[in-house]
Each structure stands twice: as structure tokens, then as C-alpha cells.
Amino acid sequence: MDSALIPKGVKRCPLWQFLLFIGAVGIVLLWGVYAMLLCWFKGLNQTNMNDYYGFALWIWADLAVIAVGGGAFFTGLLRYIFGKDELKNIINYAVLIGFICYSSALLILAIDIGQPLRGWFIFWHANVHSMLTEVAFCLSCYFGVLTIEYLPLVLENRQIDKVPFFHHLGHNMHEIMAVFAATGAFLSFFHQGSLGGVAGVLFGRPFAYREGVFIWPWTFFLFTWSAAACGPCFTILVTKITEKVTRKKLVKDNAIELLAKISGWMILTYIIAKTVDTWYWATVTAPSKGFTLMEFYSNNALYGIWILVAEILICGYIPAFILITKKGRKNPLGVWIAIILAVIGVCLNRWVMVLQVMAVPVMTFDHWALYYPSWQEVATTILPVAYGVILIAISYRYLPVFPNEAEMNPIEPLPEEAAAIEPSMAPEQELTPAEA
Amino acid sequence: MFPFNFEWIWDMGHTVFMGGLWYALTIIGIGMTYCIIKAAIDASKKNGEHHH
Amino acid sequence: MKNNLNHRFGMVIDLDKCTGCGSCMVACMAENNVPFRKDESDKLLSITWMRVFRLNNGKPFPETDICYLPRPCMQCAGLHEGHSPCVSVCPATATDYGMETGIVSQIYTRCFGCRYCMASCPYHSRYFNWWDPIWPDGMEKYLSPNVSPRMRGVVEKCSFCYHRYQLAKDKAFMDGGRELKENEYQTACTQACPANAITFGDLNNPDHAVHRMVKPDLEHGGRPQNPHAFRLLERLGTNPKVYYLSSRKWIRHAGDNYLKNEAKMKKPVHHG
Amino acid sequence: MKIGRREFLSFVIGGAAGTALSPLPWKLMDDSSIWTQMWPWTPVPENGEASYVNSVCTLCPGRCGITVRKIDDRAVKIEGMKKYPVNDGGLCLLGLSGLQLLYGPTRIKGPLKRSGKRGQGDWERISWKEAISEIVEKLGELREKGRPQSVGAISGSDRGTVPRLLERLLTAYGSPNFFRMASVRDSYELTLDIMQGVQALPGFDFENADFILSFGSDILEGWGSPVQMMRVNSAWKSAGVKVIQIEPRLSNTAAKSDKWIPINPGTEAALAMGLAHVIIKELLYDNGFISADTSRFDDWKQLVIDEYSPDSVAAVTGIDAGTIVVLARRFANASKPMAICGRGDGTHPVSLTECMAVHALNALTGNINKKGGIFAVSDPDYIHWPEIEMDSTAAVGMQHDRLDGAGSRKYPHSRYLLNRLPESILSKALYPLEALFIADANPLYTLTDTQDTGKAFEKIPLVVSFSSFMDETARHADLILPNHVYLERYEDVPMPFGMLQQAVGLARPVVEPQLDTRHVGDVIIETAKGLGGSVATSFPWKTYYLCLKETLGEKWQAMVVNGFWSGSKSIDQALKTSFDTASGKFEFVDPNTGLKPQFKPVQIKGDERQFPLLLMPYDSIRLAHGYIGDPPFMVKTVEDIVLKHNDVFVEVNPKTARAAGLNDGQRALLGTPLGTAKVRVRLFEGIMPGIVALPRGLGHTAYDDYLAGKGINVNTLIGPVEDPDSGMNAAWGIRAKLSKI
């Protein structure tokens, strides 16, 4: 029924199956939307946040999706600026994942603030000294860039592409994509960094505070670096999951392997820098404020030193060593473990830099504050996941996300389908994947 | 975000920050404008060719 | 640090005199139209611009000792004037540092409720309006027109009763533009304190009681030179304008974090 | 032109793009944010002309001067009145919350008549005329039947014109049953009566004392006049005056004192006697005073020497003998030492012998009627009304014994023994109480053993409340004749308990009456006039306002201008009267009864085996527990270690809790001989092992949702224990047990 929209040369499941899947995920989405509306209309009392936990689950989710969405800018950087051509097979998907992550991040922010209708004050009355201002500006701009990067793919839809203007628009945008990618990388560098700066500048919170250079605390660079390192792992992870779900090989191994290798070296360098940072903070910065390292990791029910071990050793060094070795990269299980650990690692880092910061008491007579999210918070946090799954499903079905899919999964076109292809459009249709 | 917002001051912070911002926005803006105009021209050319 | 403010309004709270009665909290709520709800027992959701903490020396019976510590907004100046933990992070310039007074303001109509300032404040002086403020029918009558009630979704905090400063200044202006006298601008908590434990005034003015009590070293971030005076979390570099006096060592020690080798005293615990 | 799908799509997309580029979205964005800045459901207080009115706060017995800030006709803030003798500018949190009571939801909007069952909360609104004629009719009926004595009245105070009018009404009507809410003042009045022969209140010259020995008196939790005491405490801090606090629990007062000495509960008198022992034995007492100004010292001395050696006192009090000796020496060697008593905030009396024992310490150091000592202060003598005309009915009625036994042969010195009233009603030993008026009091909440009190109230056919608020007692009344709130009415307010100065403040209307209420003074006068005859002629005033003005005479003008009138300095006056006993000296032993200062353990209720622990109520200044309950602001200040949601915490020493297998924050069942209640456990190192402490002021069943239903009322778990010497309730606690749920 929707075969006219499906890219040529690939096979998709029947429409009813597709709709059933969308419907099932849609229910989760609606649940999230309901929670979101509750938060908007009744206020943030719907959450379990409190005056000690002003930043909570959402901000973590926000930081986490931006971190893992970092795959888009870094892959784009490698593809368009450093000319790693192998990555052209995965760049579309990286952009799509990035688009989902960033739109989710913006949505979460819109729910998280107490006065959503005034959210634009962050631009209008911008305080340029605030890391959050930098985040807001760069995040919104980069989301614009991601939209620009995602748009040509949408325009490649068989029906849309029939419109000459859209066809040419997509083509022209491809032509100068390097400019957009470079701008995106610039913006990403700053907002990923600023997100790190959000915690690092809190000089009233010795657990978060870091020294740095000029106005940027070390967390600024560590966040950018970790996003660049672990973002591609998330891209690979989602690609692999998509391959499992579709039961098809969608991206060539050389692209994955290259990305995994670069990611591995990035993770290794990052985690070394993170280790040095942690060491300096634990032995110099925190003690200068009267804290020993273990004070941050004791006297409470959750945050033990395990979390530091998990973040740095298990989810840092292990994936780095797997991915930098050829043997590790060639081992499918090894790659699975490495990318999952790396993604967990970066999410754990964001968790620690948001929630543990709020939990640690600073005044001597204060106490640890632990908090449990309300169902509304959980639902609104799952909402982007459902939204992402749906957008991926739709994009995958109707857009040529994976340029090599047809080549790697050849099918015998059915006679009526072949006849349905308009002769005049057919040559152009074949051109597109090569361009992408 | 504009010099006419009252909290604006002509200091290093505003110059660097807003400078960077407007620089990025300009590039994106010019890039997109170029693409759209060129696409419109290309499309009209092609359309003309089709008609002839 | 350069001392370039016209005024540096500050507070000295004598913990030897403070009885923990909570009148300062109520005076503040009544003065500043602070809302209340049916259940205020979750203190992490209860708006108290002035909050009285209870400190415990952590020793067993009968050596136990407790002390109350009223905590308004510290009106931090930060390492350089105006670099308060909260002012520096507010993305929308909704909280600002008064260069004339040293008071950290909060513009409720500008705040969009991101709560970054709350995360930045180690004193937990900032409160979020999780709910719409609702007064029982008829009770709106006592609301003061000098302080606007806050809408849901914004952050609020102690302002050192800034409206009182404005009213006093207006009056002084009408009286021929004279200088403010010490007693003309006093916060509601200072005025109400039954124990006279709170003193308020201009730290820059050597004639004011607050200056004489703590002898702030304005060349060095306002550090108190009175050995019985201390500030909360002095080491963080927040440079607060609220000073505490105590003759008891464990209480002065509880004002900041120290490494074990820095002092042998046991750390006090909250709610111990 | 044919509109195809393509054209339609172009139109929609073009339209959307056009709208997006137009100013419309920007305008909408701006408008919506402006809307959030002035949401119609967030109130905007109206501005207006600011003004200030001076008055006196009568929410608690502390009686502070207040200055109320007004904007047009609205009261917006209550502040302490500068230069007022009690508080000089400071104000407690209850006083500061007053406007929440004035404008609050618990106020009674007009006269109410019960329409359903008692306590059910079904009311019928009636007019004032109907309300007063209801009372007049009932009183007239009882009087006609010759039972005027069966009418009673409970008042929060007996000082000032309003309580005096109520008492006068009863007298003219023919009933001796006027009751005052009890407090440590009763113990002191009796002590001064017996030992010094004066009808007076104690006046403590705290400003000039230099050593304070407090036998459990929580001077920072509301003992005396709270704000005055806090000011005094601060002055002590500045002057280096030493305060020694003796009590089983680390109260705020204990924490602020120079030394906290934990003591076995209820043994304070033993310690006082032990100190006397050391002072006498070591000849540290003021020999000049003892020999010249006291009587029967030797009688008492023998008892002290024989029975209260430091070792035996140590065994009773749990304080080691060495500490007792050192404390005695420090006390006696101070130049102006002062010993005071009254547990907690003093809302409950202590046993007569305990009060006498503590007061005897002051006599030993000769610090009576002296600068820095304790004075006997009589009430300012300003109420001069014509003699009450009593007809024969009234005279016969007044011949009857009081229902509470005060002034009887058994308790000749006691004036009011409200604690004995419930039992008297229930036992039917004397005569029934057929009508009861209640003003400025909430006995169904504040009397210990609320269950018994409730049962007794059930037996009274007519209960009339004058309360402005729907408190527990009003809820169980038959008629409510709501009084103006203090901010709406005139009233003369004498200085509070403990003050030296003889002065009277003027409470005056800050705002117009907000509701259909009436001044209780007017209601009394109207009722008297309605009754006619000699009752009516005893009330020659047209209105309360005129009565007050006439009573105050020349003082009126001064009071209107200054907010108060100050009489002669009590110090001079007290010196003149000094000791008015038969001997003209300070009596260590009551010559009539032989009663002397000593330790008589109060036999608190409960079997030790069944109830191994002791439950003690404790007072917090953040929890009003008298006639007025906590307004919302005050509830907000209550710590989460006292109240969490609706659960109250009991303070228990970790050792005791461990023995009962209870952890911090755990729910538990607190049982006493009177009942059980669900509580949560709070481990506190500042309390003696074996004791469970529960705050007073929670567990309201009436008032509004901001107060009702939170915690439990400790008075439901504690019963009165009659002091055999005075008849007063001397219970300081009750035996209890704590078990896991």
C-alpha cells in the first residue's frame, strides 16, 4: 500500500506489521506525552525533584542523550573534514541518531524548566557567563545543523524527490555539507564542553568543581572528548541493534571497524585524561576545600567508590583496550561488550556529574540527599526513546538511510513493482545513493 | 542576545560569545540561502528544459 | 579583593544568643509573602528563605550539645565582586548582584525555572515554587504589596528584605537626599529576633555594629578578624556576607569542612 | 485552476512557512510569557496607604506589645512594639503569625447553635439576639430553680477587665465556679501565700541576677513571658551570667545554658533539698537574712540535715554527690543567685513542696525582695468597680463549695483547681454543673486526660464557647458566641507572669471586625442586663468599651498614646509590704499545717513492670499548645525530626531504643495506662535513658487542615496526679512502654 514511498531495491515488512510495531511503541510514547502534559499543566510538583535535587533524572537524561548523540558531530567531522570516506555508509544513520538525541534533549529541557513559556528568555536575556546559556545557544544551533544534515535524506524519499525543487535542494545541500558539518563540529565542541562546564564551574560544590584554563574547567574538555569518544559507540550500537532487528547487514564492516578503532583511541586518551583529572581533583582540588575523596563516596546508601571504579576502569579502560586492538575489533562479542560498556560509561559519568553532585552534602551539618524519580519523570524520560524508535522505524522504511543496503541485501524485484517505477525518474533514483 | 537588550554590555564576554554565535548563525544562514536559491534556479532551468 | 561597593550589607548572627525559636523564619515568611502548604514536613520542599538548622556535636549522652544556626541567603560576593555561585550561572540574568548594596537579587518574572542557581548554592538558600502559591480563602488579605507573590515554576530566596532598603532610601531621598541611618534599613528577621541575636548593617561602614562585631578584612574577601566569628564554608571562596559568632569551638568548627589532620575535632552531624 | 494534491501540499507548506516568518509566532511567544508573569491565580496584593497601629498580643500569656503595619484597611504584618516593657521590639513566632489567625479559615463567622450531635460539627447560624436570649433563658431558668451555683466559667486568665467581668457575672448570678487555666503561676502564688503571706505573683529581677539555677524551667521554650525571657537570656550571655539547667532532656534552654545537669524526672525537689543541705551544713547561707527575716528555720533545717545528705540525694536524683556539693557552693557563693521552678514552659504547676523547696533556696541566700532577687508583685490595682449587688439567690448560691474544691478545708490556699473539675463532675460528689462558659481557653485539648475531660463535658447540659476559632472545645459546645480576635478588640492587658514592672497594656482594634463576632465583654454585659434584677444592676455599663474607659479613668489617655500605662515600680512597693505572714517574716514552715519544703515524690500513674519507661511531654516554642494552636507559618517551622507528614516522633535515648529493638525513624506503638498511639522513633543522645519524650501542641482534632490531624496530643496519654498539699495537678509524666508495630 505504501510501496510507492519505500526506497527502490530494498525490502520492507508488510504495512500492517509496521503499523502494529509503531502502534505498540506509540502507546509508550503516549504515556510519555501524558506525563509531559501533566508536568506542563500541573507544574513540576508532578516530579519527585526537590530543593536539594533541582537537577535530577531529566538533566541526566539530557546530558546522556547529548553525549551519545555526539556520534553525529564526530562522525560528520571525520567524514567531511578529515575525509574518512568509509564513513559515508554510516553517516546518514549517525545524523539521524544525532537528530533524535538532540531533539529529545530540547524536549526534555522544555519539560524540565519551571516556566516553559518563558524558556526563550535564555536567549533573549542571555547571561553570557553562564555555561547553561552557552549550552542553550549551541544546542539549538547545532540542532538546526542536524536538521540541515538530516533534511537531504528526507528529500531523498522517492515521492519527495520527484519535486524538482526538493531534488535540487537536497543535491545542493549535499554539495556544501562540509560547511555545515564544520559549523556543527564547532558548535558541538562548545555545547558538549559547556555541559561539562555546567558542573565544573560550581565552586560551591566541591564534588563537581574543577580547575581549568581561562573560563573553562577541565570538565569542559572532558565532556567534549568523552562525547566524541563514546558517541560513535552509540551510533555503532544502534546500528548493530537495527541490524539485529531487521535481520540484515546494513553497514559494511570496514565503516564500523574504522569508527570503532577511532573511538577506541579516543576513549583511551579520554579515560587517561579523566584519570589524571580525578587524581588531581582528589588530591588537590577537593582537599583544598576540606574534603577527602572518600567523603564523597561514603555515609550514604548508593554512592560508594564502586561508581568511580565502574566509570573509569570497567567502562573506560576495558572498552578502550578492546577497541584499539585489532583482535578485539574483529571479535563480534568483544565489540558488543566494548560499545555497551563505553555507552554505559559515558552515561554513568553524566549521572555522577548531575545526580551525585546534588546528593553530596557540603555544609558539615547537612546530609546526603537521595531521591527517587516519580513515574512522570520516568515516563517523560522514556518518551524520547519511544520517539526515537518510531522516527528510526519511519526513516528506515521510507528513506535510503543505509546507502549500501540494496547492494548488500539484493532482492528480486516483483514484476508489478518493477512496472510501477516511473521510467523518467528511475535514473535519478539510482544516482542518489552514490551521492550520499 | 542583541545589543539593545538592556543587560548587554560591550565587554569581552559579550563580544566573544555573541560574536561566535552570530558567526555560526551567519554561516548556516548563508549556506541555506545559497542552497535554496540555487535549488530554485536549478529547478526552474530543468523545468524549462522539460518543457522545451 | 577591591572593596568597591557603596554599601556591603551584611548580617552577624550570634549563635550564643540564638535560641532556635524560629521567629526569624516566621518574620521572614510574613514579611515576604512566602506561601505555605498543608504539609510542610518535607523540608526539601518547604520554602524557608530563612531556615534554622540544628547542629549536633555528635557526642553521646550526657555530653551531647546542640546549637541552632539560622541560614538566610549569604549574599555571596564570590572571588571577585559579583561572582556569586548563583549569579554567575543564571542563564537568563534573572538573579543579579547589586553593585550598590552587595545584595543578590532575584527577578521572579524573568526566572524561567531552570534551577541551575539552586544546584550552585552550597547553602541551599534557594527555593523553587513547585506549586502555585495558594492562600486559604480570605488570607490573601494580609499579603504585603511590597513583595510580589511568586508564581509557580520560579526560584526564590532571601533578599535581605530589599524592599525595605528601597522604602528607606525613598524616604531618605524625600528628606533631602540624606544618607541612610543604620536603623533605617533592617531586615524583618533582625527586627523580630526576640533574642537580639541578629545584627544587620553595612559591613563597609566602620560605625555600623556589624563591622565592629566581626571586623571584616575587606582586603581579603571579608574574612572576619574576630576570632569568635566565622562564615559558613569560608574555604569555598563564596565570600558570604553573613557572619556567625560563637564562643563554642565545635560550632565554629562546624562552619566549614576540614581534613582530619587539620583539626582533631569530630565533625558534627545533622539530626544526630 | 484545478487543485491537486501537489498544489494543496504546496499551499499548506507555503502557508506554514509564511506564518512562521510573519511576526505572529513572535507576538504569541511574547504574549504567552507575559501571561505567565501575571497568572490570574497568583494574587497581586493591592497597594495603598501604609500606617501602623500599636496594640498588645494576647495569643499567649506572654503579652507582648505589637505594632501592626496596615495597607489601607488591611493588616499586613505584625511586628514587636519598640519600648514596650515586655518585649521591646522583639516578637515570637506565634505573635508574628497572628494575621493568619485574623484572616484564617478556622475563624467562626458568627453565632452558632449546635444542630446535630455534640462534636459532630453541624451548626445552625443564629443571630446575636437569639444567641444571647438562649443564654439568658437558660440562666434565668437555673436561677429560678435556685441552682445558680450549677453554672461555671473557665477563663484563660483571671486578670484584666474581661475575665473580671466574667467572674463578676458569676458572682452576681450566684456561682462560685469561676475557673482559671492552671500554670506554674498557681504553684508560685501558693508558695508566696504560705511562705511570705502575700497574694501576689512572683517578679524575677533577672536583669540583675548573676547566677540562675533552673529546676527544669525552660526559659527559652516559653517559661514566663517568652520574648522577655529570651531578651534576658541574651543579656546574661553578654554579661557572663551563669545559667545552670537541671532537667532530664537537653532542651534548647539546656543547650544554651552554661551547664546542663540531667536529673531523674520528678526529683527536682530532692536536688533543691540536697543543695540546701550543703549550704546549711557548710554555713554558706545568708545568716543575716535567716536570723532577722525568717521564721521556723530550725524546724526545717533539721529535716534538711537528717534526710537530704548529698549521697542520699544522689541516689534519688541520679546526680553524683560531688556535683551536688559543687553546685550548692557555686549557688551560695554567687552574689545574686536565683533558683526558679516550673517544668518546661510552665503551663503546668509543680507540686507545692517542690516549689517551696526551690523558693527556700532563694531564702537561704537571702535573695528575696532584693535587687537581683525574687519579689512578690501584686497586680496593679486599677479595677475599682462598685460592689456587686447580691440578691438572696446569689448569696445562697455563693455559699456553695466550689466544684473543684479550691478553698475547701482540704485545699484552703488554692484558688482554682480546674484539673479536679472533670472528676468532680463525673463522681457527682457535690452538685451537677449545668452550664459552662468558656473564654480564651481550650480545655478539651489542654487538660491532661482529654478522654475524662470529654466525658465530664458530656455531662454538662449547656456548654457555651466564646472562642473565635473552631477549636476542640468550641467543636463540642452547644452554643458558640464568637469573640472578636485580639486584633479587632479593646482589652486591658496586665504585665505577664514573672515581670517586675507593674504596668497595663492596651490591646486595641487594628482592623474592623472581619466577621459577625462580638466582644465577649459586651456579651457578658448584655447577658447580665437580660437577666435583670441585681445581676443587671451589677453591670452599670452600657458597653464594654465604656466600662473599660471608665475603669481605666485617667490612665486611658496614657495608654492610648503610649500603648501602656506603667504604675509605681514594684520594687519599692514590694519592699514596703515585704513579708505579710503572721510572724511578719519569711516562713520556712507553714505554721497552720506544718507544711515545709521537702521532696514528696509525685505518684505518677502506671505499673513499672507493665510500663518500664517514662513518658514526659516536652515544650517547644515552635508548638503553641495553649488556647491557640499553631498557625500555618508556625507549623512550617516544626522540624522534620519532630513531625514528618502526620507522624510525630518520640525522642528516645539510643540505648533505650536499642533495648526495645527500635531504630531511628522506625514506627512504634507508645502505650500508657491511658491509651496507645502510633509514633515514630527518633534517637536522641540528649535524653536520659529510660525516658520517652513527646512534644506538646500536636494532635489537634479541630482547627484547620494546616494543623489538625498532625501527630498526637500528649494530653490524651497523660492523666492528672493530684498534689496532696495543693490539689493541683503535679503530674510531670506517666509510665509508658514503647513497642514495635
The rounded mean pLDDT for chain C is: 92
Q: Angle at which helices A253-280 and A218-246 pack, to 10 degrees?
A: 150
Residue B10: count other Cβ atoms within 10 Å of its Cβ: 8
Chain A meets chain C (3+ C-beta pairs below 8 A): yes
CA dihedral sign, ordered B31, B36, B41, B45: positive
- Mean pLDDT of the D645-655 span: 97
Interface touch A114/C69, C-beta < 8 Å: no
Cell triple for D549: 474607659
Q: Nearest residue on chain D to A114, judged by CA atoms?
A: D36
Closest CA of chain A from C107, distance in Å: 12
Residue pair A97/A234 in contact (Cβ under 8 Å)? The answer is yes
Closest by Cβ to B46, choosing from A134, A164, A186:
A164
Residue pair D626/D670 in contact (Cβ under 8 Å)? The answer is no
How many Cβ pairs closer than 8 A exist between chain A and C? 175
Q: What is the DSSP string of A107-134?
A: HHHHHHSS-GGGTTHHHHT--TT-HHHH
Interface touch D93/C26, C-beta < 8 Å: yes
| Domain spanning D186-379+573-587: CATH 2.160.10.10 | no
Domain range annotation of chain C: 9-270
Q: What are phi and psi of C257, to 5 degrees?
A: -95, 135
Domain range annotation of chain B: 1-47
Contacts of D262 in chain C (CB under 8 A): 61-62
Q: What is the DSSP string of D688-737?
A: -TTEEEEESS---SSS-TTTTTSS--GGGT----B-TTT-SB----EEEE
Which pTM does this prediction carry?
0.93
Q: What are phi and psi of D466, to 5 degrees?
A: -100, 10
Looking at chain D, the whole-number percentage of residues with pLDDT higher than 90 is 91
Looking at chain A, the whole-number percentage of residues with pLDDT higher than 90 is 75
Residue B46 pLDDT greater than 80, yes or no: no
Q: Nearest residue on chain A to C108, judged by CA atoms?
A: A115
Residue pair D205/D372 in contact (Cβ under 8 Å)? The answer is yes
Neighbours, chain C (3 or more CB pairs < 8 A):
A, D
Q: What tens digit of pLDDT does each residue of D114-140 get?
A: 999 998 999 999 999 999 999 999 999
Interface touch D32/A121, C-beta < 8 Å: no
Q: Residue D429: name the closest of D400, D458, D394, D464 by CA.
A: D400
The highest-level CATH class for domain A15-435 is: mainly alpha
Cell triple for A116: 516553559
Q: What tens digit of pLDDT does each residue of A58-95 get?
A: 999 999 999 999 999 999 999 988 988 889 889 999 99
Interface touch A45/C130, C-beta < 8 Å: yes
Interface touch A204/C69, C-beta < 8 Å: no
The rounded mean pLDDT for chain D is: 94
Q: How far is CA D438 from the centre of its chain?
A: 15
d(CA A296, CA A290): 12
d(CA D731, CA D265): 11
Residue length, chain C? Answer: 272
- Could you tell me if C104 lies within 8 Å of chain D, comparing CB atoms? no
Output the pLDDT for position D378.
84
Domain range annotation of chain D: 5-37, 112-184+418-484+514-566, 186-379+573-587, 613-740
Domain range annotation of chain A: 15-435
Residue pair A315/A341 in contact (Cβ under 8 Å)? The answer is yes
The rounded mean pLDDT for chain A is: 90
* Strand D151-155 to D178-180 pairing: parallel
Q: What are phi and psi of D288, to 5 degrees?
A: -60, -50
Contacts of A205 in chain C (CB under 8 A): 119-120, 122
| The CATH number of the domain covering residues in C9-270 | 3.30.70.20
Q: Nearest residue on chain D to C15, judged by CA atoms?
A: D256
Residue pair D210/D334 in contact (Cβ under 8 Å)? The answer is yes
Chain B meets chain A (3+ C-beta pairs below 8 A): yes
Looking at chain D, the whole-number percentage of residues with pLDDT higher than 70 is 98
Q: Count each helix (H run) and each strand (E run) in chain B, helices first.
A: 1, 0
Q: What tens digit of pLDDT does each residue of D689-718 get?
A: 999 999 999 999 999 999 999 999 999 999
Question: What ipTM was predicted for this assembly?
Answer: 0.93
pLDDT band at A416 (very low <50, low <70, confident <90, very high): low
Interface touch C114/A121, C-beta < 8 Å: no
* Strand D65-71 to D50-56 pairing: antiparallel
The rounded mean pLDDT for chain B is: 81
- A window 112-151, beta carbon within 8 A of B: 123-129, 133-134, 137, 141, 144-145, 148
pLDDT band at A414 (very low <50, low <70, confident <90, very high): low
| Residues 6 or more apart in contact with residue D741 via CB below 8 angstroms | D667, D668, D669, D678
- Mean pLDDT of the C265-272 span: 44
| The CATH number of the domain covering residues in D613-740 | 2.40.40.20
Q: Residue D441: name the closest of D157, D712, D715, D103 by CA.
A: D157
Interface touch A54/C258, C-beta < 8 Å: no
Residue D207: count other Cβ atoms within 10 Å of its Cβ: 14
Contacts of D32 in chain A (CB under 8 A): 117
Output the pLDDT for position D570.
52
- Three-state secondary structure string covering A355-396: HHHHHCCCCCCCCCCCCCCCHHHHHHHHHHHHHHHHHHHHHH
Q: Using DSSP, state whether D61 is helix, strand or coil.
A: coil
Compute the radius of gyration of chain B from its Cα atoms. Answer: 19
pLDDT band at A427 (very low <50, low <70, confident <90, very high): very low
Output the pLDDT for position A62.
94
